[in-house]
């Protein structure tokens, strides 16, 4: 006779837990039911090792997941510890009574706490997020136990009676609600199992019940009945024709029960690391290198962090750190555990000691979590600094790819910044790598405490050539992270000033003979008048220099402060393209003219010539082009004017 009753809620802070509010993602019920099955098997294996259970010879442990789109059901079966009727009363009818917690407490002195996943006893109830009805058939491993059948339609009422299960374990069947039929689809089921269960510690097998039934249906004479799949009929016909019985295909588990992160680093090959990376992250590019984390004191933590190869021109870097708890997937990029800057990497972290909340998808606020985060940061810094010390060649080879990660880490984490300060390197104009102190030491006689840098080697080639001719050096900074990073370096080195290579013309370094103040003033006034008239503008800032290279006619500069303000506005989408430097008291663009150049001399000597305006416009556009792209209208005029000049030369 069936035993009827009402479910007992014995926790004051879990309402409402059923259906919509227990988990944010409804597909997570697969994870909960399968991990419960893993727990049940792990407990039985532990009891066996303690001599409290004798496993039959040849017994293998596994979890079966069976779906039927036709019946709209999902069944999860384990051959684990099973439950007695009293245990069903405790673990199922009294919501939130955690069997895992009780088991760990009972056997804590015998090391039984290892690899037990469950913490809250609520995982089973995730089934009601997708099912109108759930049944349990279970049989305890204990001798003399009777099988139990339990069912509930999603309310607080249940029915429990003696079942007909013959082997120990638990079978849970979900009768899906109308909104959740998708989860009985083979493709969808495998997708979710791949997401949550790829590395669970017990082998998991999937079966599509609809296909199995199609193959098995026969008429009385043994032939496939109507409705049986054509594929099955063809296979049978082919078998008869060949008069040869094929060995049945051995089913393969859908998961890897011993993921790479569980192995010792010395036991893993480079090929294994790369294959694991490709499988988990679907990235066809090989990672640059990786860090294998393996710690068992003062907390248990394992994992692998990969430094991926990146394109420095991407505006954003996106990585994925997958967090596991005892090989059960929890979530991606949980910021409480993974330092923010390391979320640019790709990797896996498995930490059974994490204090998870009831849904296992978020972390409780715990100082312990901060210690884990600090440990991960330290291990990454140790790996990078160690590489720089012992394998400088590889460190330099990887630098262009890993520098955005490192610089972002320095910006976001003070401890990481302290550890990496001496290992930040910069590529100079000769293609060699130098530290900031090395650059400053080499340049102190020519521009003390100034660091010149290049953001685009093509656009700034004229300035680079000028620097090289005058035996000056600059560093290459081409990534968007470099803009905030140099500000960071200036804040840490108060006397140091970073200046883009086109922001200033060092008089003592690039002038042949410095002009007197009066000479410069007179030449500037004359040239300014000519350029205003030619360009049709009222405001233009011109500086006259006697440059060493007479072939340089004009250059464009912009103050470092103004350009950084413009970069910042563009970064925050504040209309940087139409930025007006005068709004912030900036100097804007400044046209530098070489008084030793023949074209500039021509303008000075022939202010009223019919060619002067053309030369002025051309010199301005050439200087602008060497600094940044011309606007469309200006480019059209420049091309037209260039053709006219060539036409004159051809006459």
Q: What is the DSSP string of 491-534?
A: HHSTT-EEEETTS---HHHHBSSPPPHHHHHHHHHHHHHHHHHH
Query: Is pLDDT above 50 for 581?
Result: no
pLDDT of residue 208: 94
Q: CB-hemisphere CA count at 13 Å for 118? A: 28
Structure tokens at 532: 């205003």
CB neighbours of residue 543 within 10 Å:
15
Q: Which of 489, 361, 377 is closest to 437 using CA atoms? A: 489
Only one residue has tokens 């007179």, namely: 522
Alpha carbon 477 to its chain's center: 23
Query: Is pLDDT above 50 for 207?
Result: yes
String of DSSP letters for 586-610: ---EEEEEETTSHHHHHHHH-TT-T
**What is the rounded average pLDDT of the residues 562-591?**
62
Query: Is pLDDT above 80 for 114?
Result: no
Of 4-13, 322-331, 457-466, 540-549, which range is least confident? 4-13
Query: Is pLDDT above 50 for 335?
Result: yes
pLDDT of residue 466: 84
Q: Which of 541, 543, 552 is closest to 467 using CA atoms? A: 552
Question: Could you tell me the pLDDT band of residue 508, with boundaries at 50, 70 and 90?
Answer: very low
**What is the rounded average pLDDT of the residues 288-314?**
83
Alpha-carbon distances of 166 from 36, 42, 169, 507, rounded to whole Å: 20, 20, 9, 94
Structure tokens at 399: 């630098």
Is residue 388 within 8 A of residue 420, CB to CB? The reply is no
What are 245-296's pLDDT values in tens digits?
566 677 899 999 999 999 999 999 999 999 999 999 988 888 999 999 988 8
Secondary structure class of 67 (helix, strand, coil): strand
Q: Quote the DSSP letter at residue 628.
A: S
pLDDT of residue 319: 80
pLDDT of residue 263: 93
Query: Is pLDDT above 70 for 100?
Result: no
**What is the rounded average pLDDT of the residues 529-555?**
89
**What is the rounded average pLDDT of the residues 617-643?**
90
Alpha-carbon distances of 515 from 512, 524, 594, 596, 620, rounded to whole Å: 9, 11, 11, 11, 22
pLDDT of residue 401: 86
Query: Which sign does the torsion angle of CA 229, 233, 236, 241 carry?
Result: negative
pLDDT of residue 24: 64
Of 173 and 569, more confident = 173
Structure tokens at 428: 């100079």
Question: Could you tell me the pLDDT band of residue 4, with boundaries at 50, 70 and 90?
Answer: confident
**What is the rounded average pLDDT of the residues 411-427?**
93
Query: Is pLDDT above 80 for 536?
Result: yes
CB neighbours of residue 374 within 10 Å:
14
Of 275 and 242, more confident = 275
Residue positions counted in the chain: 651
Structure tokens at 271: 């090929």
For the chain, count helices (H), then strands (E).
19, 23
CB neighbours of residue 536 within 10 Å:
8
Percent pLDDT > 90 in the chain is: 45
**What is the rounded average pLDDT of the residues 231-258?**
67
pLDDT of residue 15: 31
**What is the rounded average pLDDT of the residues 559-574?**
74
Alpha-carbon distances of 354 from 8, 14, 30, 330, rounded to whole Å: 29, 20, 21, 11
Question: Could you tell me the pLDDT band of residue 137, with boundaries at 50, 70 and 90?
Answer: very high
pLDDT, averaged across the chain:
82
Long-range contacts of 434-438, Cβ-Cβ distance < 8 Å, separation of 24 or more: 434/475, 436/489, 436/493, 436/496
Query: Is pLDDT above 80 for 419?
Result: yes
Structure tokens at 183: 């989860």
Of 298 and 158, more confident = 158
pLDDT of residue 99: 46
Query: Is pLDDT above 90 for 569?
Result: no
Of 367 and 95, more confident = 367
Q: Are strands 497-500 and 320-325 parallel, antiparallel or unpaired?
A: unpaired
What are 35-88's pLDDT values in tens digits?
999 999 999 999 998 888 888 888 899 999 999 999 999 999 999 999 999 999
Beta bridge partners of 294: 302
C-alpha–C-alpha distance, residues 50 and 109, integer Å: 12
Domains and CATH numbers, the chain: 3-216 (3.30.565.10), 260-394 (3.30.230.80), 513-557+586-650 (1.20.120.790)
Question: Which residues are CB-neighbours of 183 under 8 A, at least 6 positions away?
Answer: 27, 29, 30, 67, 74, 130, 176, 189, 192
Alpha carbon 566 to its chain's center: 29
pLDDT of residue 558: 84
Only one residue has tokens 């500086």, namely: 543
C-alpha–C-alpha distance, residues 468 and 449, integer Å: 19
pLDDT of residue 338: 80
pLDDT of residue 202: 95
Q: Which of 203, 223, 224, 202 is closest to 213 using CA atoms? A: 224
Query: Is pLDDT above 60 for 101?
Result: no
How would you label 176-202 residue by residue, b for 16+ Cβ within 10 Å and e otherwise? bbeebeebbebebbeebbeebbbbbbb
pLDDT of residue 359: 43
Q: Which of 247, 156, 251, 240 is closest to 212 using CA atoms? A: 251
pLDDT of residue 11: 39
Is residue 146 within 8 A of residue 162, CB to CB? The reply is yes
C-alpha–C-alpha distance, residues 363 and 610, integer Å: 76
pLDDT of residue 229: 52
Only one residue has tokens 């990496």, namely: 420
Question: Could you tell me the pLDDT band of residue 585, with boundaries at 50, 70 and 90?
Answer: very low
Phi, psi for 569 (deg, rounded to 5): -65, -40
pLDDT of residue 218: 53
pLDDT of residue 240: 53
Question: Could you tell me the pLDDT band of residue 237, with boundaries at 50, 70 and 90?
Answer: low
Query: Is pLDDT above 70 for 504?
Result: yes
Only one residue has tokens 């910006």, namely: 411
Question: Could you tell me the pLDDT band of residue 369, with boundaries at 50, 70 and 90?
Answer: confident
C-alpha–C-alpha distance, residues 243 and 385, integer Å: 67
Ranked by mean pLDDT, the top range of 100-109, 121-130, 389-398, 567-576 is 389-398
Query: Is pLDDT above 60 for 116?
Result: no
Report the 3 state secondary structure along 148-172: EEEEECCCCEEEEEECCCCCCEEEE
Query: Is pLDDT above 80 for 244?
Result: no
Of 48-52, 222-226, 513-517, 601-605, which range is least confident? 222-226
C-alpha–C-alpha distance, residues 292 and 219, integer Å: 58
Is residue 192 within 8 A of residue 27, CB to CB? The reply is yes
pTM of the predicted model, to two decimals? 0.73
Alpha carbon 407 to its chain's center: 16
Q: Which of 534, 535, 533, 531 is closest to 544 using CA atoms? A: 531
pLDDT of residue 640: 93
In 143-251, which ranges are continuous DSSP H helix? 186-197, 209-216, 230-242
CB neighbours of residue 18 within 10 Å:
19
Query: Is pLDDT above 80 for 184?
Result: yes
pLDDT of residue 526: 93
pLDDT of residue 216: 53
Phi, psi for 397 (deg, rounded to 5): -65, -40
Alpha-carbon distances of 51 from 44, 65, 116, rounded to whole Å: 11, 30, 19
- Burial bucket for residue 544 (CB in 10 Å: 0-12, 13-18, 19+): buried
Of 231 and 374, more confident = 374
User: What separation, in Å, do the N-terminal and C-terminal C-alpha atoms of the chain show?
Assistant: 113
């Amino acid at each position: 006779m069936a035993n009827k009753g009402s479910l007992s809620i014995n926790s004051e802070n879990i309402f409402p837990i059923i259906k919509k509010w227990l988990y944010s993602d409804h597909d997570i019920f697969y994870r909960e039911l399968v991990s419960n099955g893993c727990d049940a098997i792990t407990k039985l294996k532990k009891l066996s090792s303690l001599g409290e259970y004798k496993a039959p010879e040849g017994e293998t442990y596994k979890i079966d997941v069976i779906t039927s789109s036709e019946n709209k059901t999902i069944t999860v079966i384990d051959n684990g510890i099973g439950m007695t009727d009293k245990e069903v009363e405790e673990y199922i009818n009294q919501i939130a009574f955690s069997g895992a917690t009780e088991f760990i407490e009972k056997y804590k002195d015998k090391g039984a706490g290892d690899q037990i996943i469950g913490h809250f006893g609520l995982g089973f109830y995730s089934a009601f997020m997708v099912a109108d009805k759930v049944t349990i058939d279970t049989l305890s491993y204990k001798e003399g136990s009777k099988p139990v059948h339990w069912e509930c339609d999603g309310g607080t009422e249940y029915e429990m009676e003696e079942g007909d299960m013959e082997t120990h374990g638990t079978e849970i069947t979900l009768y899906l609600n109308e909104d959740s039929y998708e989860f009985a689809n083979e493709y969808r089921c495998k997708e979710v199992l791949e997401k949550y269960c790829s590395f669970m510690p017990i082998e998991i097998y999937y079966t599509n019940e609809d296909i199995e039934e199609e193959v098995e249906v026969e008429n009385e004479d043994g032939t496939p009945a109507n409705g049986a799949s054509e594929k099955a009929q063809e296979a049978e016909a082919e078998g008869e024709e060949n008069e040869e019985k094929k060995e049945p295909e051995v089913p393969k588990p859908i998961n890897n029960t011993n993921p790479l992160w569980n192995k010792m680093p010395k036991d893993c090959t480079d090929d294994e690391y790369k294959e694991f990376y490709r499988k988990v992250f679907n990235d066809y590019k090989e990672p640059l290198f990786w860090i294998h984390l393996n710690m068992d004191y003062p907390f248990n933590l394992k994992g692998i962090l990969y430094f991926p190869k990146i394109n420095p021109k991407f505006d954003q870097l996106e990585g994925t750190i997958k967090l596991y708890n005892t090989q059960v997937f929890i979530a991606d990029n949980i910021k409480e555990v993974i330092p923010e800057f390391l979320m640019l990497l790709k990797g896996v972290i498995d930490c059974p000691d994490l204090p998870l909340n009831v849904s296992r998808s978020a972390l409780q606020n715990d100082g312990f979590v901060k210690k884990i985060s600090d440990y991960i940061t330290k291990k990454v810094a140790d790996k990078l600094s160690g590489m720089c010390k012992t394998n400088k060649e590889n460190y330099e080879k990887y630098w262009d790819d890993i520098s955005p990660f490192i610089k972002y880490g320095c910006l976001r984490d003070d401890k990481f910044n302290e550890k990496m300060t001496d290992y930040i390197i910069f590529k100079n104009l000769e293609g060699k790598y130098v530290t900031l102190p090395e650059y400053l030491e080499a340049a102190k006689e020519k521009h003390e405490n100034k660091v010149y840098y290049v953001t685009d080697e093509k656009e700034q080639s004229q300035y680079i050539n000028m620097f090289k001719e005058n035996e000056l050096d600059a560093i290459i900074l081409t990534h968007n992270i470099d803009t905030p990073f140099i500000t960071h370096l200036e804040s840490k080195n108060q006397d140091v000033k970073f200046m883009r290579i086109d922001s200033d013309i060092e008089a003592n370094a690039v002038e042949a003979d410095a002009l007197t103040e009066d000479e410069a003033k007179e030449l500037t006034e004359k040239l300014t008048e000519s350029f205003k008239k030619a360009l049709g503008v009222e405001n233009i800032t011109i500086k006259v220099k006697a440059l060493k290279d007479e072939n340089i006619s004009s250059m464009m500069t912009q103050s470092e402060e103004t350009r950084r303000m413009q970069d910042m506005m563009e970064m925050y989408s504040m209309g940087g393209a139409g930025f007006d430097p005068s709004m912030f008291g900036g100097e804007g663009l400044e046209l530098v003219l070489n008084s030793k150049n023949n074209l500039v001399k021509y303008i000075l000597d022939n202010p009223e010539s019919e060619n002067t305006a053309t030369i002025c416009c051309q010199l301005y556009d050439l200087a602008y082009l060497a600094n940044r792209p011309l606007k469309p209208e200006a480019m059209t005029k420049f091309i037209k004017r260039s053709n006219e000049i060539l036409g004159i030369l051809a006459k």
